Amino acid sequence: MVYAAVAAGSFRRYATYRIATVAGVFTNTVFGFIVAYTYIALWDERPHLGGYDQAQALTFVWIAQALLATAALMGGGGLDDLQERIRTGDIAVDLYRPADLQLWWLAADLGRAGLQLLGRGVAPMAVGALAFPLALPGDALTWGCFLLSVLFGVLVSFALRYLVALASFWLLDGSGLALISGLACMFFTGMVLPLRVFPGGLGEVVQLLPWAAILQVPADVLMGVRSGDGLVRGLVFQAGWAGALLALGRLVQSAATRKVVVHGG
């Protein structure tokens, strides 16, 4: 119940920033229109690029905007606070809590992601559906599988960001690594272009990396590109990366917290 309370508290915390949420919805929507018209021009020249028709390409744009804050596709997502607490030494207080450090921050991140999905995910997607012909499913089962896929994607995203934050135990300032991680996330999730568009061997490799589980797989699930055995393989792919990265995070956490040194204190 402790972690449920942490998740609920995180949800309420982000819900208090109503103006920031509205500003985020506006930004996501405007950026969605810019990218959508760019995709229209691209798919007019190259129909069925990456195996998508134009409606699917536009759907990918708005799914990306819906998950931009939910899955923290540009990094951060609340784990900046953990990075700062490690830098200042306040992490020592966290380690005294009768709760697991990783599960505590995971619960907080899930609460944040839930609020962002409702607050900054639904509205841009709705606007996109009204303005463009999107390839959205009409059955509840596909939507349910999509939400499950989004959950797995958030877990993978958290696990990657948690590893970056833990690096601050060995670095005086982890902001540079966080910036590199954010750029890698934008590129390898498909935020810039769907991973299916990448040519040749590069396209095959990037779809095997953990970042593909954050956006590319959920988008393909919602658009019906993954169905049947493909759907199962996609969910297993996500769950596998989530489990592996969370386990790696526990190993790094164990190594980092054996001895905590506060710089300058």
Burial status of residue 218 (CB atoms within 10 A of its CB: 0-12, 13-18, 19 or more): buried
CA atoms of 6 and 108, how far apart (whole Å): 6
Q: What is the pLDDT of residues 136-189, one digit of tens each?
A: 998 999 999 999 999 999 999 999 999 999 988 888 777 788 888 888 888 999
Q: What is the pLDDT of residues 33-81, one digit of tens each?
A: 999 999 999 999 998 898 899 999 999 999 999 999 899 888 777 788 8
* pLDDT, position 262: 54
CA atoms of 3 and 26, how far apart (whole Å): 32
Could you tell me the residue ranges of all domains in the chain?
2-256
